[in-house]
């Protein structure tokens, strides 16, 4: 709880995954991938409960083992490749309300972001509540500046993404940021519904790029291991 607001953390973890089999529970430095998000949520000063929404019994067992609650298994219609995360979030909130638990804010922690720390979550919660906003998303600075990015038209010619000239020093480039998928926070009210686009949350919490790795394929796991090793040395 923060500023008298009850806060629910939801970790979405489908059993099916294309890039990596059983991705959410694959081993990363001796722990299942999902464990890192569970532990970050549990260590938060402000989160009142950490719930994993999943359709997989093995994922549920691992989640409970690391301290999360799994009060129900996600229905099949929310577990397909076409299912949207926001639908699983709304379903989870509604199921918790049926159990008599109502919350003021929901924090979505995707299990594919294992480098996100508990203090990131706390800073993001402090930011959204101190600004009295309804929706927040975490971002990281992009390394490939859009001023140098091109699309290619049907005739094979480069088309600039930005209209400004790229003939300038790199140190004069404007900074750009991407939604990194680590933290989403939304106030639980009528504005949070199945049409909500979480990636379009307006208030931003900026995270250092060294904490940004999204596990989608095996190479990402290797990168995460290297980044974790470097963090341990500091």
User: Which segments of the chain have a pLDDT < 50?
Assistant: none
Tokens of 212: 């940004």
159 found inside a domain? no
Residue whose pair of structure tokens reads 């140098």 in the numeric block: 148
226 found inside a domain? yes
212 found inside a domain? yes
37 found inside a domain? yes
How confident is the model at residue 96, as a pLDDT?
97
152 found inside a domain? no
Do 91 and 74 touch, CB atoms closer than 8 A? yes
CATH code, domain carrying 106:
3.90.550.10
**3-class state of residue 217 by DSSP:** coil
121 found inside a domain? yes
Burial 179-198 (b: 16+ CB within 10 A, else e): ebbbbbbbbbeeebeeebeb
Q: What is the pLDDT of residues 169-224, one digit of tens each?
A: 777 788 899 999 999 999 999 999 999 999 999 999 999 999 999 999 999 999 99
How confident is the model at residue 232, as a pLDDT?
66
Number of domains in the chain: 1
Q: Facing residues of 34 across strands?
A: none
pTM of the model: 0.91
How confident is the model at residue 181, as a pLDDT?
95
Range of the domain at 33: 7-141+177-232
156 found inside a domain? no
162 found inside a domain? no
Cα separation of 132 and 191, whole Å?
A: 15
Tokens of 43: 């260590």
């Amino acid at each position: 709880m923060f500023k008298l607001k009850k806060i629910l953390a939801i970790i979405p973890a489908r059993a099916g995954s294309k890039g990596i089999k059983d991705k959410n529970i694959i081993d990363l430095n001796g722990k299942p991938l999902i464990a890192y998000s569970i532990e970050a949520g549990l260590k938060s000063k402000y989160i009142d409960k950490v719930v994993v929404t999943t359709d997989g019994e093995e994922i549920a067992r691992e989640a409970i083992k690391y301290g999360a609650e799994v009060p129900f298994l996600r229905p099949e219609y929310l577990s397909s490749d076409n299912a949207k995360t926001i639908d699983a979030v709304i379903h989870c909130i509604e199921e918790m309300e049926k159990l008599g638990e109502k919350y003021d804010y929901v924090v979505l922690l995707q299990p594919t972001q294992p480098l996100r720390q508990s203090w990131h979550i706390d800073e993001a919660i402090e930011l959204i509540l101190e600004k009295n906003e309804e929706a927040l998303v975490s971002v990281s600075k992009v390394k490939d500046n859009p001023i140098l990015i091109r699309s290619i038209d049907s005739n094979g010619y480069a088309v600039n993404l930005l209209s400004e000239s790229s003939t300038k020093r790199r140190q004069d480039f404007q900074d750009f940021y991407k939604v990194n998928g680590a933290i989403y926070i939304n106030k639980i009210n009528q504005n949070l519904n199945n049409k909500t686009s979480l990636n379009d949350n307006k208030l931003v919490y900026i995270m250092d790029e060294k904490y940004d790795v999204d596990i989608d394929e095996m190479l990402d796991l290797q990168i995460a291991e290297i980044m974790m090793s470097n963090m341990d040395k500091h």
